[in-house]
Amino acid sequence: MTEVVTAAQMRGIESAAIEAGAVTGAALMERAGAGVVAAILRQWPEAQSATILCGPGNNGGDGYVIARLLAERWWDVRVLGMGDAEAMPPDARANRAAWQGEVAPLTRANLEAATDTDIVVDAIFGTGLTRAPAGEVLSVLKALGDCAAPLVAVDAPSGLCLDRGIPLAREGSVPKCDLTVTFEVPKIGHFIADGPACCGALEVVDLGLSHWRGKLGADTTRLIDAVPMVPPTEGTPHILPNFRKKTGHKYDNGHALVVSGGPSKTGAARLAARAALRIGAGLVTVASPPTALAENAMQLTAIMTRRCGGAAGLSEILEDARFTALCLGPSLGVGEQTRAMVRAALGPRFVVLDADALTSFEEDPSELFEAIAAVGEPERVILTPHGGEFGRLFPDENAALDAGDISKLDAVREAAQRSGAVVLLKGADTVIASPDGRSSIHAAHCARSVPWLATAGAGDVLAGLIAGLAARSDDLHRAAADATWLHVEAARAFGPGLIAEDLPEMVPRVLRDMGV
Ligand SMILES: NC(=O)C1=CN([C@@H]2O[C@H](COP(=O)(O)OP(=O)(O)OC[C@H]3O[C@@H](n4cnc5c(N)ncnc54)[C@H](O)[C@@H]3O)[C@@H](O)[C@H]2O)[C@@H](O)CC1
Ligand SMILES: [K+]
């Protein structure tokens, strides 16, 4: 499992190791700088000159180490430094003193004069950024965006909040880097909001602190596997066992029920149902209003159909305890009938609520949350909103998120607490949080970027993948995380031109390639 941490958690890891006498800050800084140099040499083996921009703290200290190590390799190195050397923290001050070359002031004019450099290294701010950059340094950060040379960020693109993934100053104030080299463990801001676009490729340098990382406690966030690392993560993802079906009877792999909308509104349910069957639910049934039964039956073969007259009909179907997961919401219609069906659906099984099943509670979201609480069994329900639906159900959390007061991760965590459900907020950065405190992030960026996944019906497929995995699982959060990964993987396997129907059909290939 890859963890992602906040800036404060990272400082806690470092200081625990230093206080225990296991390592010195100077040794960590040397390892950090050497790791960045190794990454630069791997990525740009022909490069021979660099301009290093050093800030006033330990991030700047890393920059002075990088300058020294590159100069030792006969690179032509120019350093632009910020602030008074005497005011720097001790390890950074020592490394600035050890740098034998000139340190020109970090100004926009000096940066713009450095046009003939092969690489620019941004070592201005890292985890210690506490306020919005302003004045000359803000001007430098903006000018960095126009740099012709490849830009390498040390720990973070400067100006990026590593907890929220947003610029601390206004938009356009964080340079878009080609490579970000971070230390020991990636930070949340590398993966959410603007973080991935600003970071470029991400590499993690091992500082040898795993012992202290292990003492972080439960409050960490899991990175859903196969994130864009350089070099790319190889081998079998850790999520593999969950994709493997149980041997034995089809009922051993669960029975998923997907509720269909009325006539001419049935496609979304069939997409979800097909995804649920492809990912391995033993059986899948579409519950269809009588008026749409023929429409559904004509287009389904392996998937069964059941006549379902509204909430009462759904309750009747669910008397059969063999239904282990239920998906409802896609194209179901917004209103009291859908609210009644949601109330009927909640019970001793996993329930995926998507689309209209969420919007139907816009006027009074607490009605939904009370119904979820009344089930009495935790982690039985997952809400899978996109941004708009999230705002309808969680206006307070959404307003704080929009204002930049909290991160997407914290907004979803609060939503999980408020609703009593697992909450999955969709996007290129997908965040999942559970009422039990677990959280996961998936970033579809760099090598995993799939802009063609933004296509009609893709969300219905995701809901179906979650329902299909949940149907034969005992862990809804895990099912959602695995489904999120698989959804992107299927889109990657197909490539541009993808439509939602293609996604379930790519699942077998993805599973085969994983060795399932
Ligand atoms: N703590 C450690 O032992 C290690 C830290 N490392 C590096 O140290 C970094 C963290 O160092 P620091 O905690 O010193 O923090 P930073 O170097 O990120 O920044 C802190 C400095 O910037 C100033 N500052 C913050 N926001 C500013 C703003 N908007 N405008 C102007 N000045 C501003 C602060 O007053 C302080 O002087 C990490 O990102 C990493 O690069 C690595 O060397 C590995 C070891
Ligand atoms: K930086």
Decide if 29 contacts 57 (C-beta within 8 A). no
Residue 516 confidence (pLDDT): 78
Mean pLDDT of 74-103: 97
Residue entry with tokens 């579809």: 444
Q: What is the mean pLDDT of the chain?
A: 93
Ligand 1 lined by 372 (C-beta under 6 Å): no
Q: What is the pLDDT of residues 366-391, one digit of tens each?
A: 999 999 999 988 899 999 999 999 99
Angle of helix 502-514 relative to helix 267-278, nearest 10 degrees, comes to 10
Q: Report d(CA 488, CA 510) in Å as an integer.
A: 10
* pLDDT for 280: 92
CB 205 within 8 A of CB 184: yes
Average pLDDT over residues 220-246: 56
Average pLDDT over residues 502-514: 93
Q: DSSP 3-state assignment of 230?
A: coil
Is the pLDDT at 172 greater than 90? The verdict is no
- Indicate the SS3 state at residue 432: strand
**Any alpha helices (H) in 376-457, and if so which ranges?**
387-393, 395-402, 408-419
Confidence of residue 446 (pLDDT cuts 50, 70, 90): confident
- CA of 329 relative to ligand 2 center, distance in Å: 44
pLDDT band at 263 (very low <50, low <70, confident <90, very high): very high
Q: Is 70 exceeded by the pLDDT of residue 77?
A: yes
Q: Could you tell me which residues are beta bridge partners of residue 205?
A: 183
Ligand nearest to the CA of 182: 1
pLDDT at 225 over 80: no
> How many Å apart are CA 422 and CA 173, to the nearest integer?
35
Q: Is the ipTM of this complex over 0.95?
A: yes
Percent helix / strand / coil, the chain, rounded to 5: 45, 15, 40
Distance 131 CA to ligand 2 centre (A): 14
- What pLDDT score was predicted for residue 324? 96
Taking alpha carbons only, the member of 227, 34, 50 closest to residue 151 is 50
Q: What is the pLDDT of residues 327-371, one digit of tens each?
A: 999 999 999 999 999 999 999 999 999 999 999 999 999 999 999
Expressed in angstroms and rounded, the spacing between residue 247 Cα and the centre of ligand 1 is: 54
- Percentage of the chain beyond pLDDT 70 is 96
Check pocket membership of 58 for ligand 1, CB cut-off 6 A.
Answer: yes
Residue range 112-165, pLDDT digits in tens: 998 899 999 999 999 999 899 999 999 999 999 888 999 999 999 999 999 999
Q: Would you state the pLDDT for residue 238? A: 45
pLDDT of 231 > 80? The answer is no
Counted residue by residue, the chain has a size of 516
Question: Residue 248: is its pLDDT beyond 80?
Answer: no
Q: Say if pTM beats, i.e. exceeds, 0.90.
A: yes
Task: Say if ligand 1 is within 6 A of residue 183 CB.
Answer: yes
